[in-house]
Amino acid sequence: MKKKCNYKDITVILVAYYPDLKKLKDLIKSIKKNIKIIIIQNCKSNLSQFQKNYKNIEIFKNKINSGNGAAINSGFKNSCTKYCLYLDIDITIESKFFEKLKKNINSIKNFSILLPNINNKYKSNKLIEIYETEGSVMLFNMKDFYKKIKFDEKFFLYFEEIDIFYKCKKADKKVYIIPNLLAKHKRASSIKIKNYIDEIKYLRDWHYMWSKFYFYKIHFGYFNAIKKTYLYLIKDLIMTFIFLFKNNKFNFKRRVYRIFGLLCSYFNTSSFLRLKS
């Protein structure tokens, strides 16, 4: 008989890179106090207040920021529970989130990853098997992860979650969305660094395009990845000239970063671009 899940079976993993402290605090408050929280700190921010104020929090500081997937791998390594729940910091969960989650863990016979219905996108009364969606909230059944399946640490930002969903699919491991388990995600709002707002957007643009091609390359082959991405390159080249003509420097630069990221991925460079902060 399957042993019923309790809250001591779950570890929450948060990845912090110069986080919006208010959002981080609000998210922590929404997590039940008897659930252990691991914060993987990828920056020099002082987050000691959270470990001091919350007995269920443990912080692991990385000397080098190797990206989101690498940080989640570190969370896996430092947890010892049956399940790990990854949460983006710019997530808001419903009031009965953990009660519903525990109920689904106990009722679903076979799963590797469970996902909530982000921003109430899916209208259904049944579990949805899915392998291409966002991973801002992911509940991992740890019998299938870390030693068996890990995040590809060549991804610095973007597509690392879709890559792991595809790995599950290839290994016949099930990924489900629970339609009645709700969470809200205000995308790209977890980082807060003064005077670096534009630079963060450029960084995201570069990595989005780098990761897009790399994802297609490793799952469908190099030439198929070219086929799936060359139209983005053409469109971005056209838009650079339009924004240059309009003297729109911000959007011109964003398109340049997209092109640069994609070309770097075409030429098999590492995902090297980092914010200088």
Alpha carbon dihedral 219, 268, 148, 74, in 10-degree steps, equals -130
Q: How far is it, in rounded angstroms, from Cα 151 to Cα 153?
A: 6
How distant is the alpha carbon of residue 241 from its chain centre?
A: 33
pTM over 0.95: no
CATH of the domain spanning 8-185: 3.90.550.10
3-state SS class at 14: strand
Contact 23, 47 (CB under 8 A): no
Look at strands 113-118 and 175-185 and give their pairing: parallel
> Angle 135-273-253 (CA atoms, 0-180°, nearest 5)?
95
DSSP state of 143: G
**pLDDT of the residue at 5:** 86
**pLDDT of the residue at 156:** 97
Nearest to 201 by CA among 212, 215, 187: 187
> How many residues are recorded in the chain?
277
Q: Helix, strand, coil: what percent of the chain each, to 5?
A: 45, 20, 40
Give domain limits for the chain: 8-185, 197-266
Q: How far is it, in rounded angstroms, from Cα 113 to Cα 175?
A: 5
Q: How far is it, in rounded angstroms, from Cα 143 to Cα 166?
A: 17
DSSP state of 7: G
Nearest to 142 by CA among 70, 80, 59: 80
- 238: its two tokens: 């056209």
3-state SS class at 9: helix
Q: Taking the CB of residue 137, how many other CB atoms lie within 10 A of it?
A: 21
Q: How far is it, in rounded angstroms, from Cα 137 to Cα 211?
A: 20
The 3 state secondary structure assigned to 157-171 is CCCHHHHHHHHHHHC
**pLDDT of the residue at 50:** 87
Residue ranges for the chain with pLDDT beneath 50: none
